Structure 1
Amino acid sequence: MAIVLLLTTLPHQHGVYLITILETAITPGPTAKATLVDNSINDPIVGIPRVNSGTHAIRLGNSILGSQGDYYFVTRMKRTFVVNENSISFAFALVLENGGNSHITGNTNPYYQVRLFNSNNQAIFSRDVMANPSNPLFTNSNGILFTNWLCENINTARFIGQTVTLEITLSDCGQGGHWGYGYFDHFCGFNCTSPSFNPGITLNPLPNGCPKFPLSVSGNITLPSSASFTNVTLQVLDISNNVIATKIINSAPGGFFSTNLDYPDFYPSGPNSNIQFNIRAILNYGISGIPQTPIIINNTNPPGPDVSFKNCPTPCYEELIFQQDQAINSSVNYQASCCITSYSIINPNNTVNFKAGYIISLQPGFYVSGYNTGLFHAYIGRCEENNFNSRIQQNSIGNKIESLESDVKISPNPTSAYINIDAGKEKVVSWELYDRSGKSVLRGNSEQIDIQGLLKGSYILKINLEKRHISKAVIIK
């Protein structure tokens, strides 16, 4: 198998180095930093075999053959291919010089890194192993840390048929005084049955179609016996890979973790133009008390989507109010059990539906922009059943939507004489009753309202409590 190398000396966080790039097919002894070695001798420093099996292996990284202090190199090997198996395996052995505690705590010791990138150059797997004598996989020989031949295994089942890039890196010390190298073998036809670095994380598939809340997200983790679990960080990403919400899962009994996502995890400030989202999980763990590089997995290959609200209704709000500075920029089906009031513009090329149980009020400032582009519909009817989380107590579009379903009750309704307000333990500060045109017809602060003398029809009762306000539809018969 031909292995293509991209060999570089790269800038490091503690120094700036010259960059040289060589891209070549591997041949015996192409550079001092990447060499095809044979099994004629063992490693001259620690005595381990230079080849796992067969006759040849690749050595990446610096060796002690350079002059003292000539350890400023990062050597990188890449391979791009189409995934056709459930996992990637290869064998490797590391020889890293330990720079001491200051290098360990400063994260500047020599290190080995393997990353897997998707076709968008996004890392979908990452592992970083720094020289550290507390890591039980290393043997310490007078400050030289080395492993016997180990094997790496990367789960690629979810990327079958996709183009990925495997990148392996060996780095010298970040301060230029210590070296590191590794041997690599068996990139083809090798089955790693007992991975040496074995942290892993998987996400279970999510259901298709409009999401039902609460939305359960779950998966599994595996850790080597020497590792300890810290947490799983679950992230909701928009289609541009911006983090919308984060949840920390602090327990994974039996390697299983789960949490629920609700509507505000996707729309923390209320419905907006984002309708497609991805789910990312990050496994945080440590070895001997030392935090390791997190393992990252996406539910699917970004840009996804994992969760889509396309052509899905929004939650059933009690009331929606769109102020003049809240232009509607996307195609969304808005619905409310009571009322929708809009003073805002609907921008071109959008299809927007308003559905309310009692009143849709289009006030001065409402406008559907564009010439024969986009559609606007208004309906009086019950909210669509969509299992959106009714436990949401507050939300907003631009922080200007009235509160949602509440435990404040009015009775009787319909009524012809009086309305009683039951706010539970909350205090009614004031209230105001509006007719269909938005005109105020009554106001007060008692918990009983005399509506005798008002015309039959639909009204809106706005109730101001000490810490919030709500709106209720009232039918006078």
Structure 2
Amino acid sequence: MKIVKLLLFCFIWLSSITSFAQVEDYLKLEQNRITKAQNIEKEVQAFIVKNIGKYKLTNEIEIETIQHLNDEIEELSIKEIEVAIEKAKVVELRKLFFKTFPDKKKEYIANPISSSIRQSCVNGDFEDGTASYSFWSDAHPQPASGSSFFQSCGTPTVVTGTNVVTPSVNNFNSTITLIDNTAPNYQQFDPVLASFGQNIPTLNTNSGSKCIKLNNTQGYGSSDLTTMSRYMPSINQPTIDFNFSLVMDNKVAHGQDIQPYFRVRVLDQNNNVVDQICIIADPENCLFNRINVSNSRRILYTGWVCARLNVQDILNQPGTIEFSVSDCQPSQHFGTVYIDNLCGFVCATPQLGALSLDPTNINCPNATPEVPVNVCGTYQPPVNATLNTLSLNIIQNGNTITTINAPTQLTSDTFCFSFLPSAFGANPSGSFEFEVNATFNVACPAGTYIYDMTDNSANVGPDVTFIDCCLPTLILIAPADNVTNLDATTATQKERSDWIKATNIVEVGDAVFQNGVVYHAGNYVELNPGFEAVTGSQFSAYIEGCSSNYIYRNSDTNSSSTVEGLLEELNVTKLNIEFLIVPNPSSSSIELIMKGNQFRNISITTIDGKMVFDQNIELTDKARVDVSRYANGVYIVNLLTDDGDVYSKKLIKN
């Protein structure tokens, strides 16, 4: 027995050393990627500086931008117009860089975490940097994007080939910055709030020396939506707790649907939302402290608070956590947030409360009236809030079939709804999902504020199924049972408690993951002569029985690490740079004119390369040179621009 214990101890010790080494290797890999991305960011900035004078916004976008600013800002100055147009042009040139050098974007996306590491909360508090996180910022120049992109907390965002960003360090003008009190330019307090006499720390006082800040406070000409994402191959904890500190603008004249917002959500491996928090800049929400800047503008801030996301529905499954913060739709008013202690941290009192349905997977509920269906869950009110309403929706294909307005059992932190199968309708078929909705009342200085919470039972697969209700056997034959990857789920998903025998044909659809055919049976799936899965189709079979859990068991993939090469419209056009010599030919002096750019050096050589004139000048687009003393013949005139480009033309001296 002592030998067995010793061997077990050695195994655990060696395993822990191996795991630690894997984490260290992963951190080194990520740090190398981040360093490359930081160097590429320097290339991006150099590209913008080099080309800022060579491009202009399209006339349509420039006119619309000016009109938008006139509508948004009273007494608009020429300088404000120039700043907004310049910012929009910078956004477009950044897009142009990644279109020109598409291979550069891969260094901005986090490497997938090894399956052997799983969720070990690597860098969850950012003390080791930003390894395993991906960052992007959608700069929506105004007004081209306008209301078509802004859906408040429902606004979509996805990493593309041109919106990727690598964090800077202590750069409060950057859309993403790593706050680090050991690095230059660290500011102890948020600079916007400090300017109004409110000292709110940029770092959580209970944390270490680093955190992440998303979005800047510039707003103005571009409605920025900035996102941080982290993929976890296997979530091994029932909640994900974190700290945040929110600072937002609020314009009195704006409706709540276009104010800045902060959204946090966890997505399962099929990109379904498991849990979500969304906070809109609302002065009536007593989560916020308030600074009245003017009659038309308020600054709202929270200080550091903690929050909780329930992920027990996808325990031991892949998931992605995503943080997003946005300016207001018209772009002038900012939203920004500090984030820290993402995992390995327990929030004793979640400021925003919590709501969670227990995972449910029921196949063919007993339709006998005396056998009820039970759906239960847990809740925690927001700080100083009381439960107001709690209801359950039964949903099929996005439509609510039945609403149960109150739970059957309710305690201070749990609930259960008990109902008969008739709630699914007469002769139900197909799949159903559960959704719980709660409202909580909070007494705020402005009056009673209502928090809304929603949670879906996000276990993989439907919550309730009435598909075949699990007969024991099934025979599939051609051509009656032939199927393509794109057929309805009732055709592509088959299960039996005993066996399936197939002689049908599975044909190709669009080859997109999950658009495939799945068979599973309790004892065996038999593929007999005549069965064929055509090249390019997707087919899988499992010994699983009637679980109604139709999912491809693929290897771990980092869904947030896929850079989609989406085509984005560029709203800039290249200026036509002209270099003129007037007059040409000339016998005395010439005037050198550059349209669309400026130059800082003039040189003149003979046709065989001998230098006859070389002079640095102040940056200009026009200069005069006396060539009267030169011998008659052909010369080459060269103009060097401030960004290093050389333009040459022949001069005939007569």
Contact in 2 for aligned 1:71/1:173 (Cα 8 Å): no
- Secondary structure at the aligned position of 1:265 is classed as helix
Question: TM-score w.r.t. structure 2 length?
Answer: 0.42
Matched, 1:5 2:135: yes
Q: Which ranges in structure 1 are unaligned for 5 or more consecutive residues? A: 314-328, 332-348, 350-477
Matches within 5 A, 1:266-415: 266=424, 268-272=425-429, 274=430, 276-287=431-442, 288=444, 289-298=448-457, 300-307=458-465, 310-311=468-469
What's 1:62 paired with? 216
C-alpha separation between the residues in 2 aligned to 1:278 and 1:296? 11
1:15 aligns with 2:147: yes
1:211 Cα shift? Answer: 3.3
Q: Secondary structure at the match of 1:246?
A: strand
Alpha-carbon distance in structure 2 between the residues aligned to 1:85 and 1:165? 13
Q: What secondary structure does 2:251 align onto?
A: coil
Partner residue of 1:34 out of 168, 171, 176: 176
User: CA 1:85/1:257 → structure 2, altered by over 3 Å: closer, same or farther?
Assistant: closer
Distance 1:137 1:37 in 2: 24
Give distance in 2, aligned partners of 1:61 and 1:31: 8
Which of 162, 166, 170 is the matching residue for 2:317? Answer: 162
CA distance in structure 2 between the partners assigned to 1:219 and 1:86 by the alignment: 13
- The code of the aligned residue for 2:180 comes to D
RMSD of aligned C-alpha atoms?
3.7
1:150 is the counterpart of 2:296? no
Aligned length: 310
Match of 2:251 in 1: 99
1:258 — aligned with what? 416
**2:192 aligns to what SS in structure 1?**
coil
Give how far 1:10 is off.
Answer: 5.0
| One-letter amino acid matched to 1:22 | N
Higher strand residue share = 1
Deviation sequence 1:345-368 (CA, Å, 0-9, x none): xxxx9xxxxxxxxxxxxxxxxxxx
Q: Evaluate the alpha carbon distance shift between residue 283 and residue 90 of structure 1 in structure 2; reply closer, same or farther with a 3 A threshold.
A: same
Query: Identity over aligned residues, as a percent?
Result: 26
The 8 Å contact of residues 62 and 71 in structure 1, kept in 2 or not, is answered as no
**Residue 186 to residue 218, structure 1, CA distance change in 2 (3 Å):** closer
Q: In the TM superposition, what are the counterparts of 1:71-110 in structure 2 within 5 Å? A: 72-82=223-233, 83-100=235-252, 102-103=253-254, 105-110=255-260
Q: Secondary structure at the match of 1:48?
A: coil
Query: Aligned to 1:45, what secondary structure does the other structure show?
Result: helix
**SS of the residue 2:287 aligns to:** coil
The answer to whether the Cα contact below 8 Å between 1:278 and 1:302 also exists between their aligned partners in 2 is no
The residue number in structure 2 matching 1:189 is 344
Q: Is structure 2 residue 395 aligned with structure 1 residue 244?
A: no
Cα distance change on mapping 1:218 and 1:206 into 2, 3 Å? farther
Task: Tell me the distance in 2 between the aligned counterparts of 1:134 and 1:35.
Answer: 30
Report the Cα offset of residue 182 of structure 1.
0.8
**Pick from 187, 192, 209: which aligns with 1:45?**
192
Quick one: distance in 1 between partners of 2:146 and 2:381?
31
Contact kept? 2:262, 2:324, Cα under 8 Å: yes
Is 1:113–1:168's contact at 8 Å kept on the other side of the alignment?
A: yes
- Cα distance, 1:17 vs. partner? 6.7
Task: Report the CA distance shift for 1:128/1:281 in structure 2 as closer, same or farther (over 3 A).
Answer: same
How many angstroms does 1:123 deviate by? Answer: 1.1
Deviations 1:430-465 (A, max 9, x none): xxxxxxxxxxxxxxxxxxxxxxxxxxxxxxxxxxxx
The answer to whether the 8 Å contact 1:94/1:147 transfers is yes
The answer to which structure has the higher helix fraction is: 2
* 2:378 paired residue among 197, 215, 220: 220
How far, CA to CA, are the matches of 2:469 and 2:248 in structure 1?
55
Matching residue's letter, 2:286:
P
Name the aligned partner's letter for residue 454 of structure 2.
I
Q: CA deviation at 1:207?
A: 6.9
Distance 1:147 1:111, change over 3 A: same
Residue number in structure 2 paired with 1:336: none
Q: How does 1:438-449 map to 2 (within 5 A)?
A: none
Rate the CA distance shift 1:118–1:44 in 2: closer, same or farther, 3 A.
Answer: same
- CA separation in 1, counterparts of 2:240 and 2:261? 21
Is the CA contact 2:238–2:312 (under 8 Å) kept in the aligned structure 1?
yes
1:140 equivalenced with 2:290 (yes/no): yes
Distance 1:72 1:175, change over 3 A: same
For structure 2, which runs of at least 5 residues remain unmatched after alignment? Answer: 1-122, 124-130, 151-156, 194-198, 293-297, 472-489, 495-503, 505-654
What's the offset of the Cα at 1:232? 2.8
Q: Which residue of 1 aligns with 2:585?
A: none
Counterpart-to-counterpart distance in 2, 1:7 and 1:31: 13
